[in-house]
Structure 1
């Protein structure tokens, strides 16, 4: 475990609620080349423009794990995180040393597990990654947690391959330059980093068999399979991959009145956000509780009960 993560977890153990009277807030996102950052920026703008005495900015982070820790320790008001990382945080499972005091504001959209290789690579499945140089995601990211857990579910441990800890941009650059054999990005179908890579390099994305998906779901219930159509990326064939929902994470004791304002405002402005962020088409009232195992914030549950089906 990195020194940064140990310190962050220690800080979280002494967490106190973020004062709701503060004028300035942050939303934890991820790499600027992913979907978290622009979506977080749109939400921050919506809330800042429509909630009195409220100013928020999107913060570039290592994504899920860092965001959860910062929310739990009061350094961020809200953070975007992948469902498997949120489940691990709620239970106090690795990489978290104790349960995190968090709840879900609402679900956003599903992330696709995308193992990228050069188009002419002899790597055809995850089992072929043994002995290879593989970027499994930046430290503190949901990609790193998810990719290593998925490989473990299929019988491949970190000692079986040469792990590289790179963020989205560094992963695609390393793959493009031949410095790694494969790279993992867990992000939306059509995520910018892979879209840009596919325009300049011929790549494939590994497809998972039904047997592999069943093994992953048995070990990691937050994941299910999804078919991704051809040409989601330039010249990339269709593939089947595990997906996991992304959610907005807040502290359990976030002021209910503020939480209600954030939910009301976000869904009122969602049509505008969906015009800019295509993945936001999945951000609906009906999908608010798509992540099972971590309760919605009390204001979110009230909103869902009142508005579901309307």
Structure 2
């Protein structure tokens, strides 16, 4: 009888698992913050949202994630705010307006323009004529790097030898002398930069106040930011730019699904913070940090419910 009851219970569990729909959340490369953040969110959703089973998918990040969300290939994607704003408006990499909304903002991404100290490169203008990694293809890093260089008069097709490498490839190429500089746009303390700073004397190029002001005027999704000294080994305080990452979803997502995903995420954010410290910034107060792209109505409904 006991064996029979155990068999019935096992069948019931398997039946419930079979009923759960499988989804993925678009992240980025494994050496960045998107991947562990997405993995932690996937677990929270799988554990706390009925009939949902989510896994983190390695991708080229922001642009790819936004496109795949719109196509219905992913339930959600982590993306830089400027990319999602471009998609919403049909600008930049997007030829037409895309039906996207956000569930909530996550944390600010910082522009790291990396060189080795021995290169002698200390300003963005000195990158002209150099071999530079702009980031992985179809990534927010590549979009930001190209726009930033263009804003100071450097054409990435004519004025530099551009290569497109992910975080780990960028720092490896820098360490091996294969590139002169590389861009990483990631959260404060991003692993790839932390690791290369432990083995090499690096320099993160300051973005001047004038350069920042000109860029922000053209791209208002960004703001100025100072990386404190010693976040990275032997690196002094750095003046740079920041842009918030968001969780992008299709505008066609069911309102109840958006509500449930948002509710589960915020009510279990402590679990995510155990994995990624930058989730300290993922709060209801910061949910609408990306101006210009509406929150999904289901997400807004949850935020309104806790504001009462």
TM-score, scaled to structure 1:
0.91
Q: C-alpha distance in 2, partners of 1:250/1:210?
A: 34
Q: How far apart are residue 307 of structure 1 and its match?
A: 2.6
Higher CA-based Rg: 2
Instruction: List 4+ stretches of structure 1 deviating above 6 A.
Output: none
Residue of structure 2 equivalent to 1:209? 208
Separation of aligned partners in 2, 1:73 and 1:258: 17
Give a deviation string over 1:86-143, Cα, whole Å, max 9, x none. 1111111121111111100000000000000001222111111000001001111010
2:154 corresponding residue in structure 1: 156
The aligned residue for residue 269 of structure 1 is 268
* Distance (Å, rounded) in 2 between the aligned partners of 1:304 and 1:46: 18
Q: Give the match's secondary structure for 1:106.
A: strand
- What SS does the corresponding residue of 2:119 show, helix, strand or coil? coil
- The structure 2 residue matched to 1:57, chosen from 55, 58, 65, is 55
Comparing 280-289 with 251-260, greater Cα deviation is found at: 251-260
Paired with 2:52 and 2:188, the residues of 1 have a C-alpha distance of 32
Residue 22 of structure 1: CA displacement? 6.8
Aligned residue number for residue 173 of structure 2: 174
Shift of 1:302: 2.0
Unaligned runs of 5+ in 2: 1-18
Mapping of 1:276-287 within 5 angstroms?
276-287=275-286
Offset of 1:274 from its aligned partner?
1.4
Aligned length: 289
Matches within 5 A, 1:189-268: 189-268=188-267
Distance 1:66 1:89 in 2: 11
**2-structure distance, mates of 1:67, 1:86:** 10
CA RMSD of aligned residues (A): 1.2
User: What do the CA deviations read for 1:216-256 (whole angstroms, capped 9, x no partner)?
Assistant: 10111111111111111111111010000000000112111
Asked if the contact 2:40–2:271 (Cα under 8 Å) also holds between the matched residues in 1, the reply is no
Ranges in structure 1 where 5+ consecutive residues have no aligned partner: 1-20
1:90 and 1:100 in contact (8 A); partners too: yes
Relative to structure 2, which stretch is displaced further, 241-250 or 204-213?
A: 204-213
Distance 2:166 2:132 in 1: 12
CA deviation profile, 1:171-196 (whole Å, cap 9, x unmatched): 00000000000000000110001111
Equivalent residue, structure 2, for 1:79: 77
| SS of alignment partner, residue 286 of structure 1 | helix
**How far apart in 1 are the matches of 2:241 and 2:304?**
29
Which residue in 2 is equivalent to 1:306? 305
What is the TM-score when the length of structure 2 is the normalising length? 0.92
